[in-house]
Amino acid sequence: MLKDITLGQFFPGNSPVHRINASVKIVLSFIYLVMVFTIKNFFGYTLLGAFVLSIIYISKVPLKFILKGLRPVLFFIVFTAVINVFMMGETVIFRLGFLTITIEGIRYALFMVLRIIFMVVGTSMLTYTTSPIALTDGIETLLKPFARFGMPAHEIAMMMTIALRFIPTLIEEADKIIKAQTARGADFESGNIFKRAKSLLPLLVPLFVSAFRRADELAIAMEGRCYRGGDNRTRLNVAKVGRIDLYAAGVMIAFFAVLVVL
């Protein structure tokens, strides 16, 4: 289960999607999220699905790798669907005691499931196709105008990127702890969902200890390399908005306009 979490991972490549400026990709991701919540019918989600699949095809990120990232949120998707099926609408098509299934509830549940899936898949493409360094530079570039008001743009960008970067590391560490405790007789598989959740509590202490140790090692390494925040820092490769970024922005805005019209 832990190995299925692909959030924060970077899939190296040289596709047109990989070459888009990180700042532009972040802005386009926000536009994409607005699109997901703007759509009000299944035809719009069909068009959005075709659009997302075309981006995945161009990026050359394996579809299995992307669908694998949906497994950790599968319980949340099913839970959201069930809640909406039984709690929404007035046109009853099935009743069992205090539970009622309505046409409006089924329709709204499908909308919520599609929204969650498109949100996870679409926003994950940002981290799949953007390296941590480029992501840091992109976030810092977008936050730089707020630096005039005292906001530490570089530090915030570095914090967010380090958090994303260490998600796979902490997942790997948790997997090692589970295997070590399983070898000592711990049981994480049997019982209902509440017993399984309770059995995971002993993982928290060693996982937190490992996280603090890694944070301390990272701080020492950054100090050893004379890291002093964003003051007077320069970049080896300065990212600029190019033709491919304008094309990507134009395609996204045009597609958004088509969805609004339809």
- Angle formed at CA 50 by CA 45 and CA 54, multiple of 5 degrees: 145
Neighbour tally for 219: CB within 10 Å? 11
Gap between the Cα atoms of 215 and 162, Å rounded: 10
Helix (H) or strand (E) segment spanning residue 94: strand 92-96
Total length of the chain: 262
**Which pLDDT tens digit goes with each residue over 223-242?**
888 777 666 666 666 667 77
236's tokens:
């080896």
> For tokens 């498109």, what's the residue?
118
Report the 10 Å Cβ neighbour count for 16: 15
pLDDT digits (tens, 9 = 90+) for 56-107: 999 888 888 788 777 777 778 888 877 777 766 666 666 666 667 777 777 8
Output the pTM of the full model: 0.74
- Reported as a single tens digit per residue, the pLDDT across 155-192 is 787 787 787 777 777 877 888 888 887 887 777 667 66
